[in-house]
Amino acid sequence: MAVVVGRVAALTDPGRRRRHNEDSFVCEPPLFAIADGMGGAQAGELASRLAKTAIEEVALTTIGEDGVVDAIRAANARVFERALKDPSASGMGTTATVALVDEVAGTIALGHVGDSRAYRYRRGALAQLTIDHSLVGELIRSGRLTEDEAAVHPHRSVITRALGTEPDVDVDTQTAEIEAGDLLLLCSDGLSAMVRDDEIARLIEAAGAEPEGAGAALVRAANEAGGIDNVTVILVELVEGEPRSRDAQPLAEEAHEANDMERTEEDVGAASKRRHGAGRGSRWPALLLVLGLLAAVVFVLWWSFLA
C-alpha cells in the first residue's frame, strides 16, 4: 500500500507583540508552504502574500525538486519586481519553505530559503530537515555558538538568505522518502525561536500526533513562551492509502481563484476586470451595439429623405 497525505492542519497567529501577521501559508495537498515576510510598514505582509501566490501557481502544476525550485524562484522574481516598482515596499523580502508530496513515488520534495523550517516526526523522534539560513545558524554550524547561546543571541532573527532582495536566489533542495505514520511539520520561526525541538516533539506526542490538536498546542506554547513573533504551523499526516493522480491542474485552478482573496487591492482590481469582461474579447458585443444604432440612424434619415 502506498503512502499518501492524510489529515492536515494549518494554523497562524499574530503572536502577542505584533499588530500585523506577516506570515502566509499554502495548505493545498499535495503542496504545503510557509512564507514569513519582512519589511517596513506592511511590506512584509505583502512580500509573503506575493510569494504564496507565485508558489501556488507554479508548484501545483509540477512535481519534484525542479518544480519546487521553479516555484521559489518565481516567488523571488515576483517579490523583487514589486519592490522595484513600489518605493514603499523597497527592501521587502520573505522566507519560503515548500514541501511537495509525490504520493506515486512515495517521496517529498523540499525547497527552502531563510529560516522557516521543515521537520519530520517519526516514531516519537523529531528531525529538522532544513538548515537555517540565519546568522546564528551559520555560527552554530561553524562551532562558534551553541544551541543554548543561539536561543538568546541578540541577532538570532537575522537571516542570511531571503526571497525578493536580489534578482536571483539560491534554493536548498532535497528529496526524502516518506513512511506511513510520519508527520510533517512546517513552521515559521515564531515557533522554532520560542519552543525548543524537544518540547515540540513532546507536544506532538501528547496530542497523539493528530495534526489539529498538535498544531493548536504548538501555537499556544509559542505564545505562552512570549509570542514575540507571528507563528504559523502546518502539520501533515502521512498514512497508507491510494495515491492521488499527478494531474494537479484542477488544484492549480482552484488555488488561482482563491488567491484573488489574498492579493493586494491593485491585484484584486485587475483580477476583477478580467473576470467581468474588460479584456479584448469582451469588446465585440459593445461594437455590434454601436454599429446597430448607427444603421438605425442611417435608415431613419434615408426614409425621411424619401418621404
pLDDT tens per residue, range 92-135: 999 999 999 999 999 999 999 999 999 999 999 999 999 999 77
Task: Output helix, strand, coil percentages for the chain, rounded to the nearest 5.
Answer: 45, 25, 30
Predicted pLDDT at 196: 94
> Cell numbers 488567491 label which residue?
259
Instruction: Specify the pLDDT at position 255.
Output: 38
What pLDDT is attached to residue 61? 86
Model pLDDT for residues 281-305, shown as the tens digit of each residue:
333 444 444 455 555 544 545 555 4
pLDDT on residue 299: 52
Task: Provide Rg for the chain, Cα atoms.
Answer: 24
The model's pTM is: 0.78
Asked whether the CA dihedral 278, 280, 281, 282 is positive or negative, the reply is: positive
Residue 38 confidence (pLDDT):
92
Residue 14, SS3 per DSSP: coil
pLDDT of residue 290: 46
Assigned C-alpha cell, 222: 509559542
* Residue 277 confidence (pLDDT): 32
pLDDT at 177: 93
Q: Is the dihedral of CA 259, 113, 97, 43 positive or negative?
A: negative
Q: Which domains does the chain have, with CATH numbers?
A: 2-274 (3.60.40.10)
Supply the pLDDT for residue 281: 36
DSSP string, 150-210: HHT-TTTT-BS--BSSSSS---EEEEEE--TT-EEEEE-HHHHTTS-HHHHHHHHHHTTT-
pLDDT tens string, the chain, 307 residues long: the values are 799 999 999 999 999 988 899 999 999 999 999 999 998 667 999 999 999 999 999 998 888 999 999 999 999 999 999 999 999 898 899 999 999 999 999 999 999 999 999 999 999 999 999 999 977 667 777 777 677 766 666 666 678 999 999 999 999 999 999 999 999 999 999 999 999 999 999 999 999 999 999 999 999 999 999 999 999 999 999 999 998 766 544 443 443 333 333 333 333 333 322 223 333 333 344 444 445 555 554 454 555 545 5
Q: How far apart are CA 16 and CA 183, in angstroms?
A: 27
Cis omega (within 30 of 0) for bond into 30: yes
Residue-level pLDDT at 273: 29
Strands 117-122, 107-113: pairing kind: unpaired
Q: How far apart are CA 280 and CA 267, in angstroms?
A: 19
- DSSP-based three-state secondary structure for 53: helix
- Sequence-ordered alpha helix ranges (H) in 10-156: 43-59, 64-85, 135-141, 147-151
The three-state secondary structure class of 101 is: strand
